[in-house]
Amino acid sequence: MAGRETDEDDNNSMESSGEDERRESEWEEAGCSKAKRAKSRKRKKNTSSAGGSESEGREALPVFFRTQLESLEVEAGGTATLRCEVTKSGAVVIWKKGDRVVESSDKYQVKQEGAVVELVIYKLRGADSGEYTCDTGHQKSSAVLTVQEREVVIIKGLESLAVHEEDDALFECHVSHDNAPLVQWTLQGIPLQKNEMNEIGAEGRVHTLILRSVTQQDSGTVAFSVGPHASSAQLTVRAAGVLFTGWVQSQEAEEGGSVTLRCELSVPGATVDWRKGEVALTPGSKHQMKVEGTKAKLVINSLTLRDSGDYTCDTGDQQTTASVVVKAPPPAVIWRKGSVVLSRGEKHSVQEKGTERVLVIHKLTPEDAGEYTCDTGKSTSTATLTVKEHVRITVGLLDMTITTGEDACFECSLSHMGVSEGEWWMDSNLLQNNDLNQISSEGHRQLLVLKMVTPDESGTVAYVVDGETTTANLLVLDKKGRGRMAKGGARSPLSIGSARSPPPSAQETLRAAAGQPTFFLQELENLEAEEGDSMTPAL
Span 503-519, pLDDT tens digits: 333 333 333 333 344 55
Percentage of the chain with pLDDT > 90? 57
> In 230-308, where does DSSP find H-type helix?
none
- pLDDT at 423 (0 to 100): 94
- pLDDT at 417 (0 to 100): 87
| Rg from Cα positions in the chain | 54
323 to 244, 250, 284, 310, 434: CA distances (angstroms)? 17, 5, 21, 4, 74
Span 15-67, pLDDT tens digits: 444 444 455 455 444 444 434 443 444 444 444 444 444 444 456 789 999 99
Q: Mean of the pLDDT values across residues 327-340?
A: 85
| Structure-model confidence comparison of residues 236 and 50, the more confident one | 236
The strand pairing partners of 409, in sequence order, are: 449
Backbone angles phi, psi at 240, to 5 degrees: -70, 135
409: number of Cβ within 10 Å: 14
This prediction's pTM:
0.29
